[in-house]
């Protein structure tokens, strides 16, 4: 979204336009959840935080003076997430790991959150059976034969559905470098389970 459109959207929110608020929620909710999760490693808690950020945005809308809605939402989410860490007495350890490149790390987290949200959206758009097979393979680490056994289908069907999924994802995510995308899949496969929201 361009800065001008973002400004118009925020102005409409300040004026009490619920449709504009819902548009902002749809646009940023998933991205902010993934961003918060990069800090907290607790997706349910991250969703609660982001929901509260939007509640606060609506309540305080006529008193807010911000240059960028996106920057405000990310900044608020980051601060709220760090506040949770502070209450858990973990903030100091986390902040020390960011120094002296905190701004670089935060930019990386934002970029990864954006990519995760795009991947999540692309996977959600896969046909149901195709999506199920893809998630079993890429994020649960099952082999084609194991997937075939679990779903009572042939290995050939599994291969075909994985091929369809990869083609659709490649098309939907064509503006991202495939090497970057694959490295994201590989790094996440052995960390936290993928979360479809």
The structural domains of the chain, ordered by start, are 1-100 (1.10.1740.10), 125-197 (1.10.10)
Helix crossing, 18-40 with 43-59: angle to 10°?
140
Res 189: pLDDT: 45
Res 192: pLDDT: 40
Cis peptide upstream of residue 168 (ω within 30 degrees of 0) = no
CA atoms within 13 A on the CB side of 195: 18
With a CB cutoff of 8 Å and minimum separation 6, the contacts of 27 are 1
Res 94: pLDDT: 54
Res 124: pLDDT: 85
Res 96: pLDDT: 61
The pLDDT profile of the chain, 197 residues, written as one tens digit per residue, is 677 888 888 889 999 999 999 999 999 999 999 999 888 888 889 999 999 999 999 999 888 887 788 989 999 999 999 888 777 655 456 556 655 555 555 666 777 777 777 778 888 888 898 989 988 887 788 888 999 999 999 989 988 888 888 888 878 777 655 445 555 554 444 444 344 44
Res 123: pLDDT: 84
Nearest residue to 36 via CA among 81, 72, 2, 73 = 81
């Amino acid at each position: 979204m361009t800065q001008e459109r973002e400004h118009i959207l925020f102005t409409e929110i300040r004026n009490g336009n619920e449709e504009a608020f819902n548009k902002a929620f749809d646009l940023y909710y998933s991205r902010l959840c993934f961003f918060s999760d990069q800090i907290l490693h607790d997706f349910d808690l991250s969703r609660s935080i982001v929901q509260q950020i939007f509640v606060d945005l609506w309540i305080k809308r006529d008193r807010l003076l911000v240059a960028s809605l996106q920057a405000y939402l990310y900044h608020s989410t980051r601060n709220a997430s760090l506040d949770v860490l502070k209450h858990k007495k973990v903030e100091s350890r986390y902040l020390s790991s960011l120094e002296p490149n905190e701004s670089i790390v935060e930019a990386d987290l934002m970029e990864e959150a954006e990519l995760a949200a795009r991947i999540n959206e692309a996977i959600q758009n896969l046909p149901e059976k195709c999506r199920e097979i893809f998630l079993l393979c890429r994020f649960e680490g099952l082999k084609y034969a194991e997937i075939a056994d679990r779903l009572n289908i042939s290995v050939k069907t599994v291969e075909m559905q994985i091929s369809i999924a990869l083609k659709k994802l490649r098309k939907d995510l064509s503006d991202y470098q495939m090497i970057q995308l694959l490295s994201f899949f590989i790094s996440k496969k052995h960390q936290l389970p993928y979360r479809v929201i």
